């Protein structure tokens, strides 16, 4: 089964390459404007699932290569852009309410038509699409940003809040859970603390800091205070 699928893929790819070679050798260098004035028609249909056509067709238009050629939608959602010379065009259904993907349509000088995906980076890549065009809206446009709303869950799930609340819980609840009056327990805890602080000779950081600041002149303390108050004001 897998093998057959694979084979099919290869076949499709081959077909696409083949199609490229037979009709677009002259086209990939750019739009060729037919000098003999041959004009062709781009046909297709726009579909908005779940909506009646009369709700949106009056505001929609079919634009071919910007506004070079313009088509209008019929009541059944189909459209035809007349009077288009041979060349390669991006066909777009424009509507303020719905989003449609643009399609590139190539017309040879003999009037052969082909539709493919628009790819601005690899312009010669061919991913075939059905012709006459079937352009299906992929939903309404999203024009608006969501406002940030304030909710309790957002507040509680905030990492800063979590960082503050969890230690608080530990400080408040831990002494209740562990019976500190139990001498055995106390001994155990002391031991574990010693384990954490393997070198009792080393001065404790916090102790060091307090020493440092108490030694510092009152002036520095004042300035510290001052800066803090400024900071709080700023906030």
Partner 1 sequence: AWLGVRLAISVSLLFTASAVFEDQVGKFDWRQQFIGKVRFALFDTHSQASKKLLVATDKNVFASLNSRTGDLFWRHLDKTGPEGHLDSLLMYGQDAVVVVGNGRLLRSWETTVGGLKWETVLDTGSFKAAALVGVQDLVKYVAVLKKTAISLHDLSSGGQIWVENLPDSDTVQYQTIYSEGNGLVFVLGLVPNSHVVIVEYKIEDGEIMNKKSIQAAWMSSLESSCAVISSGILLCVDQITQSLYTLPLQSVEQKEMKQIHLQTLDLEVASGFQPVLTSTQPNPAQPPLAEFFLQLNPDHHILLQLKDGLIAPLRDFNPSNLVAFATTGEKTVAAVMSPKNETACSINLFSADTGRRHLDTTIIYHLDPNVGKPNKLYVHAFLKKDDSVGYRVMVQSEDHTLTFLQQPGRVVWMREEALADVVTMEMVDLPLTGTQAELEGEFGKKAVVTDGLLPMVLKRLSSQFILLQAWLAHLWKLFYDARKPRSSVKNDEVTIENLSRDEFNLQKMMVMVTASGKLFGIDSKSGAILWRHYLENIQPNSGFKLMVQRSTAHFPHPPQCTLLIKDKDIGLASLHVFNPIFGKKSHSSVPALPRPILQTLLLPIIDQDYAKVLLLIDDQYKVTAFPSTKNILQQLQDTASSIYFYLVDSSQGKLSGFRLRKDLSTELIWEVVIPTEVQKIVAVKGKRGNEHVHSQGRVMGDRSVLYKYLNPNLLAVVTESTDTHQERSFVGIFLIDGVTGRIVHEAVQRKARGPVHFVHSENWVVYVYWNSKFRRNEFSVLELFEGAELYNSTVFSSLDRPRPPQVLQQSYIFPAGISTLEATLTEKGITSRHLLVGLPSGSILSLPKLFLDPRRPEVVSEQTREENLIPYAPEMPIRTEWFINYNQTVSRVRGIHTAPSGLESTCLVVAYGLDIYQTRVFPSKQFDVLKDDYDYVLISSVLFGLFFATMISKRLAEVKLLNRAWR
> Rule CB under 8 A: which residues touch partner 1?
29-31, 39, 41, 53-54, 57-59, 61, 63, 65-70, 72-75, 79-80, 82-83, 88, 92, 94, 96-97, 99, 118, 120-121, 123, 141-145, 147-148, 150
Nearer to partner 1, 69 or 115 (CB): 69
CA distances from 67 to 86, 124, 232 (A): 16, 23, 58
Nearer to partner 1, 172 or 177 (CB): 172
Q: Are 41 and 72 in contact (CB under 8 A)?
A: no
- Least distance CB 197 / partner 1 (angstroms): 35
107 bridge partner residues: 87, 113
Nearer to partner 1, 123 or 220 (CB): 123
**Sign of the alpha-carbon dihedral angle for 92, 90, 109, 31:** positive
- Least distance CB 23 / partner 1 (angstroms): 17
CA atoms within 13 A on the CB side of 122: 5
Pairing of strands 128-129, 113-117: antiparallel
Residue 208 Rama label (left phi>0; alpha psi -120 to 50; beta): alpha
Nearer to partner 1, 37 or 198 (CB): 37
Nearer to partner 1, 30 or 50 (CB): 30
Q: Are 95 and 59 in contact (CB under 8 A)?
A: yes
Among 80, 85, 187, 175, residue whose Cα is nearest residue 131: 80
- Least distance CB 208 / partner 1 (angstroms): 33
- Least distance CB 167 / partner 1 (angstroms): 21
- Least distance CB 178 / partner 1 (angstroms): 26
């Amino acid at each position: 089964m897998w093998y057959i699928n694979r084979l099919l893929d290869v076949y499709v790819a081959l077909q696409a390459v083949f199609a490229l070679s037979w009709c677009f050798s002259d086209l990939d260098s750019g739009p060729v404007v037919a000098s003999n004035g041959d004009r062709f028609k781009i046909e297709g249909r726009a579909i908005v699932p779940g909506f009646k056509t009369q709700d949106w067709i009056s505001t929609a238009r079919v634009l071919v290569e910007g506004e070079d050629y313009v088509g209008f939608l019929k009541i059944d959602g189909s459209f035809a852009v007349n009077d288009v010379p041979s060349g390669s065009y991006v066909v777009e259904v424009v509507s303020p309410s719905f989003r449609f993907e643009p399609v590139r349509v190539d017309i040879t000088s003999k009037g052969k038509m082909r539709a493919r995906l628009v790819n601005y980076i690899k312009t010669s890549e061919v991913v075939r699409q059905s012709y006459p065009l079937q352009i299906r809206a992929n939903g309404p446009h999203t024009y608006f940003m969501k406002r940030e709303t304030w909710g309790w869950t957002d507040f509680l799930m905030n990492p800063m809040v979590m960082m503050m609340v969890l230690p608080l819980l530990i400080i408040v609840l831990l002494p209740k859970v562990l019976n500190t009056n139990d001498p055995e327990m106390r001994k155990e805890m002391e031991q574990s603390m010693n384990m954490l602080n393997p070198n009792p000779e080393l001065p404790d950081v916090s102790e060091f800091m307090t020493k440092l600041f108490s030694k510092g002149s009152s002036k520095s303390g004042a300035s510290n205070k001052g800066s803090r108050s400024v900071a709080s004001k700023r906030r």
